Amino acid sequence: MVTSIILNCIQFRKRLPEHRSGPSPRVASLRISHDAADSRLRRSIEVATNELRSYDGLHHTYCALSRTHAVSIDKSDHALCLVSVPAIPLTFYIPPLARRAPLLDTLSLSLHLQPYTMPIVTLGHYLWTRIRDVGINTVMGLPGDFQLNLLDSIYDIANLRFVGNGNELNAAYAADGYSRVKDVPGCIVTTHGVGELSALNGIAGAMTEQVKVIHIVGQTKRPMQRNREMIHHSIGFHPDHQVFNKASHSFRVAAAELQDINSAPHEIDRVIRACFMQSGPVYIFIPLDMVSEEVPAELLEKPIDLSLARDDLTKETMEAASSAILDTISKAKNPVVLVDGLVHRHNAINELRQLVAKLRFPVYCTQIGKGIVSETSDLNVGVYSGAVSGPGIADAFEANDLVLLFGHLPADTNTGNFSQKIVPEKTINFKPDQVDVSSGSVLKCSGS
């Protein structure tokens, strides 16, 4: 039997006079007990994720280092020295006792604070590093008094630049275009109120066509928000500083309202992931006083997970979808492929091109889907826009007995004013998050 003692959380905070930088470490005292029948205790010390760095013999100081912890036990005075920046569960194992030493029912250890500086970065640095790491190298926008310090942080990030625009609306459209051309999110930064509202029309356009855009808004300081101070651009004598935030609610797929430094990195990562998974605009609201607050630099070592879900349910759904699709295709005599713009928005161009090359079915596209499959391909027939298609295109398309429809965006301007003849009973409709099979099956797969 191995005796383990779990210290659920270290939450007592004391800052030593000599500890001048970094987050305030926690310090506490505890009493450790073990079973009297246990004469051989495990020869180890474990810290959080078992990331041991070194271990010495019984008569020396035991030392274990992880990225965020420094732990040591000294046999002579049974002193346990710990620095723990995050308050997370820790498991400790008592070192083995000498053979002739009396068996102890209890062992008291005191926790002492050791000055330990963990590498840190500002929240502004963290945000722009995350932006750069997902493939963005240009940030659009205009300087404003509630995000000037945030803009300064851009110049500390390699391979990231700020491009100023004539106004926020132009910046929003520039970010939209950047996303379409570069196949990564466009990024725009504006200031509280007037800046974010000026950009809203361009953001709404991106929402309409499922274009990835990250809109970063510099907000008033948190005390200003809590006290409802009448800062310039405010509405009313006792203003709600989040009223402008609420204005964009219908034009975004996710938002992070950063108010707590401990959760801010996770919130930034969550929203950036949502931008990729749902392919639409997202907002990150960062108050002026949070930009220079500090977070552990090690958080940047783990990339944002941009992969689709791969659980057992997803596997079963994919297998069922494949079976239904193959069965339907095998019965078709004159199948065709219709390619639309959401294939591009959801980064499925390469997969679509590979599939088309294997199927060898005639390929049509919509106006927004034009160019996804090369117009020089021997499989390309033309643009199908219903009644306003080119000569012979509509007749050829509508003679099909099965349509493989990819990434359809059924707007009036993309369907010949809704004159396309796509019969649901003869269509396999590949949507971003589900497949509707002509047999009536609807197979959904969440990527969040």
pLDDT for res 118: 67
Is residue 423 assigned to a domain? yes
Provide the strand spans (E) within 289-401. 294-296, 335-339, 363-365, 380-383
In a domain, 107, yes or no: yes
**pLDDT value of position 76:** 36
First to last CA, the chain: 42
* pLDDT over 50 (residue 13): no
Tokens matching residue 355: 């599939």
CA distance 63 to 384: 70
> Nearest 5°: CA angle at 130, between 181 and 434?
60
pLDDT value at 276 more than 60: yes
Q: Note down the domain range covering 15.
A: 1-118
> pLDDT digits over 231-260, tens only?
888 888 999 999 999 999 999 999 999 999
Q: Is residue 306 part of a domain?
A: no
For residue 264, the SS3 value is helix
- Over residues 200-218, the mean pLDDT reads 97
pTM recorded for the entire structure: 0.73
Write the burial class of residue 262 (CB in 10 Å: 0-12 exposed, 13-18 middle, 19+ buried). Answer: exposed
* Order of strands across the sheet that contains 79-84: 30-33, 106-112, 79-84, 69-74, 62-65
34-72 pLDDT, tens digit per residue, is: 333 333 322 223 332 222 233 233 222 223 333 333 334
Tell me which of 118, 135, 162 is where a domain ends: 118
260 and 357 in one domain?
no
**Cα distances (angstroms) measured from residue 285 to each of 189, 247, 264:** 10, 13, 10
Tokens 């969550």 correspond to 270
Q: Is the pLDDT of residue 117 over 70?
A: no
> Considering only CA atoms, which of 150, 244, 149 is closest in space to residue 188?
150
Tell me, what's the pLDDT at 125?
97
Q: At 102, is the pLDDT very low, low, confident or very high (cuts 50, 70, 90)? A: very low
| CB 186 within 8 Å of CB 211 | yes
What confidence category does residue 190 fall into, taking pLDDT thresholds of 50, 70 and 90? very high
Determine the Cα–Cα distance for residues 51 and 68; give it in Å rounded to an integer.
10
Mark whether 208 and 133 lie in a shared domain.
Answer: yes
The DSSP secondary structure of 122-134, one letter per residue, reads: EHHHHHHHHHHHT
Q: Check: CB of residue 142 under 8 Å from CB of residue 165.
A: yes
CB crowding 169-179: b at 16 or more within 10 Å, else e: bbbbbbbbebb
**How far is the C-alpha of 142 from the C-alpha of 189, rounded, in Å?**
7
- 148 within some domain: yes
**Looking only at Cα atoms, what is the longest distance across the chain?**
99
In a domain, 307, yes or no: no
Residue 182's pLDDT band, with cuts at 50, 70 and 90, is very high
Residue 301 has pLDDT above 60, yes or no: yes
Do 152 and 285 belong together in one domain? yes
Tell me the average pLDDT across 258-273: 96
- Spatial distance between the Cα atoms of 361 and 358, rounded to a whole number of angstroms: 9
Mean of pLDDT over the chain? 78
| Model pLDDT, residue 434 | 87
Residue 258 within a domain = yes
Candidate ranges 13-17, 115-119, 410-414; pick with highest mean pLDDT:
410-414
Spatial separation of the C-alpha atoms in residues 97 and 58, rounded to whole Å: 8
Q: What is the pLDDT of residues 123-164, one digit of tens each?
A: 999 999 999 999 999 999 999 999 999 999 999 999 999 999
Instruction: Give yes or no: residues 169 and 81 share one domain.
Output: no
Q: Residue 276: CA atoms inside 13 Å, Cβ hemisphere, count?
A: 21
211 with 316, same domain: the answer is no
Mean pLDDT of the 173-182 span:
97
User: What mean pLDDT is predicted for residues 283-305?
Assistant: 95
CATH code: domain of residue 420? 3.40.50.1220
152 domain residue, yes or no: yes
Establish if 29 belongs to a structural domain. Answer: yes
pLDDT digits (tens, 9 = 90+) for 358-367: 999 999 999 9
DSSP codes, 181-195: HHSS-EEEEEETTHH
Domain boundary among 257, 273, 301: 301
Quote the pLDDT of residue 267.
Answer: 97
> Contact, 210 vs 345, CB < 8 A?
yes
From 97, 118, 139, the end of a domain falls on 118
- Asked if 109 and 77 touch (Cβ cutoff 8 Å), the reply is no
pLDDT digits (tens, 9 = 90+) for 429-441: 999 988 998 765 5
Query: CA distances (Å), 418 to each of 264, 309, 385, in order?
Result: 45, 34, 9
Any idea which of 52-66, 97-111, 292-306, 370-384 has the lowest mean pLDDT? 52-66
167 and 272 co-located in one domain:
yes
139, 270: one domain: yes
Is residue 227 located within the same domain as residue 245? yes
In this structure, the answer to whether residues 141 and 242 fall within a common structural domain is: yes
H or E element, residue 278: helix 264-278
Q: What is the CATH number of the domain that holds 129?
A: 3.40.50.970
Cα 54–chain centre separation: 35
**Per-position DSSP letters for 1-24, written without gaps between them:** ---EEEE-----B---TT--SSSP
- What per-residue confidence (pLDDT) applies to 399? 96
More confident residue, 353 or 25: 353
Same domain? For 127 and 168 the reply is yes
- Check if the beta carbon of residue 324 is closer than 8 Å to that of residue 438: no
The number of angstroms, rounded, from the C-alpha of 55 to the middle of its chain's C-alpha atoms is: 37
209 and 335 share one domain: no
Q: How many C-beta neighbours within 10 Å does residue 165 have? A: 17
156 compared with 315, residue with greater pLDDT: 156
**Beta strand ranges found along 136-235 (DSSP E):** 138-141, 161-164, 186-191, 213-219
Q: Which pLDDT value is given to residue 73?
A: 37
How many structural domains does the chain have? Answer: 3
pLDDT of residue 46: 30
Instruction: Indicate if 250 and 383 belong to the same structural domain.
Output: no
Cβ neighbors of 238 (< 8 A, separation 6 or more) are: 228, 230
